Amino acid sequence: MTTGRSLRAKRFFPSRAPGSSAGITYIDLMVGLAVTGIIMLVVASLTLTLSRGLTKFSAQHKSEYILRNAYDDVERDLRQMNEINVAEEAQMVFRMDSYLVPGYNANAVVNGIIRIRNPDDDGDEWVINPGQPWRVGNDLDDDDEDPLPSGDGQVDVLCRYRIEGGALLRDFNFNGAGWTNEKVLVTDIIFSTFQYLGSASQDWGKNLDGNLDGVVSPEEIDQTNFAEGGRGNEDGIIFNNQNERNYIVQVSMEIGVDMNRDGKEDFRLISEVSPALLPLKWKRWD
């Protein structure tokens, strides 16, 4: 006699006749495993691609953040330069105003004038010193105002940027005390260069623009001598003397970094600065 319970069981679990093809066979199992394997490979590939993309994006974002922060410091310093003393592809040294000397008191009263508003802190603007003109004059010309009242015979502020060992380094030399304040701004650099240009719009640069492109290149500066209206020494070495460096009115820095160190550049940044004090300081050439 068939009970209700057995009928319900047969309905959900029908018996399998001998030789029937119903159910999961070995071939079905293998096919299922193969399809599952393919799906897993696709998922793994997508996951790996996504992971690499996120890693690359993270490296690019980090590189951009670090470079832009460093460039803020660089551009601030470059805008304050008034004379370039070393102009090389991997190094530049330049003079800055005396107010950047540590301990400078902008509100101190000097000769009856608040110092930050005084055009000549040490009061020697009219002193004639043809041998060392950088030691006298107004603040722009006078690079030896500190310490007051008459300076110490040393350049008050020198700033140096250089690329070494894949790093961008900045240092200051205050009153000839030496380079003792070096700081690492950027690491993992795989490409870098400092570049310098003159301008044909400046009166002393008009005779140097041989190709009439409005830009005075380092080579044009070097190859135009005094007789031709320039100050180059024609030795084939650019910016190896102060006369040539005085033509510089634009400084650019280009750096590429590889933060994740996979041999590929993550981010590159170019900065171009035209320091207002460079042509102003040498306007007396006119």
Cα–Cα distance for residue pair 119/149, rounded to 1 Å: 14
Q: Report how far residue 139's alpha carbon sits from residue 141's, in angstroms, rounded to the nearest whole number.
A: 6
pLDDT at 13: 46
Cite the DSSP H helix spans in the chain: 4-12, 26-80, 218-223, 242-245, 277-281
Residue 285 in this model has a pLDDT that exceeds 60? no
Residue 12 has pLDDT above 60, yes or no: no
* DSSP alpha helix (H) spans, 110-196: none
Instruction: Give per-residue pLDDT as tens, 101-156.
Output: 999 999 988 888 898 898 888 888 888 777 788 888 888 888 999 988 888 999 99
Can you tell me whether residue 75 is helix, strand or coil?
Answer: helix
| 161 closest CA partner among 139, 135, 192 | 192
Reply yes or no on whether the pLDDT at 167 is more than 90: yes
Among residues 260, 286, 265, 278, the alpha carbon closest in space to that of 87 is found at 278
C-alpha–C-alpha distance, residues 179 and 160, integer Å: 9
* Residue 205 buriedness (CB in 10 A; 0-12 / 13-18 / 19+): buried
In the chain, the percentage of residues whose pLDDT exceeds 90 is: 37
Dist. CA 77–CA 210, nearest whole Å: 31
pTM of structure: 0.79
Q: How far is CA 73 from CA 59, 103, 186, in A?
A: 22, 20, 11
45: helix, coil or strand?
Answer: helix
- HSE value, Cβ hemisphere, 13 Å, CA-based, for 81: 30
pLDDT digits (tens, 9 = 90+) for 45-68: 887 777 776 667 677 778 889 999
Pairing status of strand 215-216 against strand 250-257: unpaired
End-to-end CA distance of the chain: 124
What length does the chain have?
286
Confidence of residue 195 (pLDDT cuts 50, 70, 90): very high
The predicted-structure confidence for 216-259, as pLDDT tens digits, reads as follows 999 998 988 776 777 788 888 899 998 899 899 999 999 999 98
- Alpha carbon distance 43, 48 (integer Å): 9
Tell me: pLDDT of 84 over 90. Answer: yes
Segment (H or E) for 256: strand 250-257
